[in-house]
Copies of this chain bind each other. A is one copy, B any other.
Amino acid sequence: MNRDQQLAACCVAAGLDLHEALQIGGQYVPLLQHGQEIHISGQIPRVGSQVVVCGRVGESCSEAEACRAAHIACLRALVLLYQHLGSLERVARILRLNVYVQSAANYTRQSEVANAASALLYQLLGEAGVHVRTSVGVYQLPKNAAVELDMVAIAA
């Protein structure tokens, strides 16, 4: 399977529509390209109009669920890249990934949650998916989402 076929399969598994315009929450755009750099807005685990993984990781949300949240949010970012570029084959690199985990006071495994996004990027894009990353634990996220992430990609 090429990258786009893999993306389509992942979307089906997550309940995301590869061709539907993704809903966002405010007066901004989900993606902007300047030169080769493509900036993507913060993505939460939204499927259709629903945020599917909510709560505080380590308290009302399990780590496994948080990983699913990171996977779905990352998938949304990849769908945006696919829709913008026409194909993931045109992604030269994921340059940076920022992961925000809505955390319980003593939860310190933000890296493990972020790994679910990093793993997806590598699975679909190979070497082009290997990125620089920052992950932190925040107090609250929009819509009570368990995870939010944004990224910068480089177009081929």
Chain A interfacial positions (CB closer than 8 Å to B): 25-32, 34, 36-37, 39-42, 93, 95-98, 100-101, 103-112, 114-115, 118-119, 122, 130-144, 148, 150, 152, 154
Contacts and interface: CB of A to CB of B under 8 A. Distances in A.
Given A39-B96, A41-B133, A134-B148, A103 B142 contact: no
Given A34-B95, A34-B154, A96-B39, A28 B110 contact: no
12 contacts: A27-B130, A34-B37, A42-B133, A42-B135, A107-B140, A108-B141, A108-B142, A110-B141, A132-B150, A136-B140, A136-B142, A137-B141
A45 to B, nearest CB: 14
Given A119-B27, A137-B138, A141-B110, A132 B32 contact: yes
A74 to B, nearest CB: 12
Contacts of A97: 28
A132 B93 contact: no
A122 B130 CA distance: 31
**Top-5 shortest CB links A-B:** A137-B140, A42-B134, A27-B118, A103-B140, A28-B133
A138 B142 CA distance: 11
A28 B130 contact: yes
Contacts of A119: 27
B133 A26 contact: yes
Nearest to A106: B140
